[in-house]
Amino acid sequence: MSEIVKEVLDEVINKIIQDMPENPPNEMDDEKAKKKLKNERRRLYYNKNIVKEREKSKSYYHRNKERFSTKNECPCGGRYTSVNKNIHYGTRGHLNWVRWTSCNIELQK
Ligand SMILES: [Zn+2]
């Protein structure tokens, strides 16, 4: 690892330690601080092993390529991939279908 990267990492770690409260006022803040530290550690690990991590995510994509690209049929008549499922649920066409079906259910009562 180059000296510059080491310096930057040390700086980031020092900043995290400085930002962490010595006596957290309550449990919630303690949990938040722990989560923040965990995220920072994860990010540092990722940046240290960036080449390896990128290879890992590439191979994960290739292993699951078929699953990511298969289209699912929605009862509204639309189609979506698993990656775009939540985006589809927010589209005007899908929301109109939801409104329409809920109106029909209310009329049937
Ligand atoms: Zn839909």
- As a whole-number percent, the residues of the chain with pLDDT over 90 amount to 57
Residue 77 reports pLDDT greater than 60 = yes
- Residue of higher predicted confidence among 103 and 44: 44
| Ligand 1 geometric centre to CA of 93 (Å) | 7
Q: What's the pLDDT tens digit per position in 24-65?
A: 567 778 889 999 999 999 999 999 999 999 999 999 999 999
Report the pLDDT averaged over residues 8-36: 78
Q: What angle do CA 48, 50, 54 make, to 5 degrees?
A: 160
| Ligand 1 geometric centre to CA of 76 (Å) | 4
| Ligand 1 geometric centre to CA of 81 (Å) | 11
| Ligand 1 geometric centre to CA of 63 (Å) | 27
Which tokens hold the place of 7?
Answer: 């310096």
| Ligand 1 geometric centre to CA of 71 (Å) | 12
| Ligand 1 geometric centre to CA of 69 (Å) | 17
| Ligand 1 geometric centre to CA of 84 (Å) | 11
The pLDDT value given to residue 17: 74
Beta carbons of 16 and 33 less than 8 angstroms apart: no
Residue 44's nearest CA partner among 32, 56, 55, 36 is: 36
